[in-house]
Amino acid sequence: MDLLAVLSGFGVGAIVGMTGVGGGSLMTPLLMGVFGLAPAVAIGTDLWFAAITKSGGSWVHHKLGHVDYRITGLLLAGSLPATVATIAVMHFTGITKAWAGALTVALGVALLLTALAVAYRGFWTTLGLRIERWLPEPRRAAFTVASGVLLGVLVSLSSIGAGAIGATLLLLLYPRLPTHRVVGTDIAHAVPLTLVAGIGHAMLGNVEWALLTALLVGSLPGIWLGARLTKAMPDRLVRGVLCLALVTAGLKVLA
């Protein structure tokens, strides 16, 4: 088993455990830059990594009552059809050089958006409270489904968006939702979304299974350790380092 892959999985897992975000945002550029995978294969491998690692977290949040299944259902009503449609287009057109370029651009943009979401998380809640008056329940439900569509396309093309960007959209649409329910709902939505997108990429041959196994072996203890280091490290420091890594990776991908 590749020791570098195990250590990489451990490092990403530790960051996810400390911050709750950063899995796909850091793993996909790592798979491309360090392990030399093509964009499509890196994205497909990361989707399975996210689906498996987040399944345990989703179950824990379910047991604790942290998941708003109505919101989750609205998000999935938009994200799953969008994911299937995006994968279908990729299947019927083939992974040409043009698609590879589109995947790379989508990845870079998603990294920068994730950095913005992480850096200004409090701002999104405040903004959500200000626009709340313009969102009666039917309109809020429609915007939630539309957010799911956006996440479905973005995750299928880049493997990024189900975490930090998904949570940001929830903060905008449901600013009064307690933080633990935002996190639980976001993770509960991410699992089926990344799984469906991962299955689609697997059908296209875009998953490096041996590498995925090694990454998972390292990520599980990494997440465990990171979760316990959360209290020891200042939140501002952790998020600052994460934002710097995201911006650096995003600019490098787009360069």
pLDDT along the chain (255 residues), means of 10: 87 74 76 88 92 83 89 97 93 70 78 79 83 85 95 88 82 86 87 94 92 92 75 69 75 74
Residue given tokens 């938009």 in the structure block: 78
Q: Which two tokens stand for residue 203?
A: 């059908």
pLDDT at 5: 92
Contact 107, 253 (CB under 8 A): yes
What is the residue-wise DSSP string for 51-99? HHHHHHHHHHHHHTT---HHHHHHHHHHHHHHHHHHHHHHHHH-S-HHH
Which 3 state secondary structure label does DSSP give 113? helix
DSSP 221-246: HHHHHHHHHTTTS-HHHHHHHHHHHH
pLDDT at 236: 72
Q: What is the pLDDT, as a whole number, of residue 213?
A: 95
Given phi > 0 = left and psi -120 to 50 = alpha, else beta, which region is 68? beta
Using CA of residue 76, residue 77, residue 78, residue 81, what is the dihedral sign? positive
